[in-house]
Amino acid sequence: MNGKPPKNASDTAGKARDERLKQALKANLTRRKAQARARGANKAEGQKEQG
């Protein structure tokens, strides 16, 4: 008896879900940052041509 409750399937499934969500959030954030950088570069390029 080590004092820890036994691990059940729902606990490990919950952790796996959390990991999947964390990875998906990180990928989404990376993609959105790249899109924002591209939009910013396009705006800066457009301003150079006009000004």
User: Is residue 36 domain-resident?
Assistant: yes
User: Is residue 17 domain-resident?
Assistant: no
Let me know the angle formed at the C-alpha of 43 by 32 and 26, rounded to the nearest 5 degrees. 10
User: Is residue 46 domain-resident?
Assistant: yes
pTM for the complete prediction? 0.61
Residue 6 has a pLDDT of 63
Question: What's the domain range around 35?
Answer: 27-51
pLDDT per residue as tens digits for the range 1-51: 577 666 677 789 999 999 999 999 999 999 999 999 999 988 777 776 665
Percent helix / strand / coil, the chain, rounded to 5: 80, 0, 20
Residue 10 has a pLDDT of 79
Alpha carbons 47 and 41: distance in angstroms, whole number: 10
User: Is residue 42 domain-resident?
Assistant: yes
Structure-token pair, residue 51: 């000004």
User: Is residue 22 domain-resident?
Assistant: no
User: Is residue 13 domain-resident?
Assistant: no
* Domains of the chain: total: 1
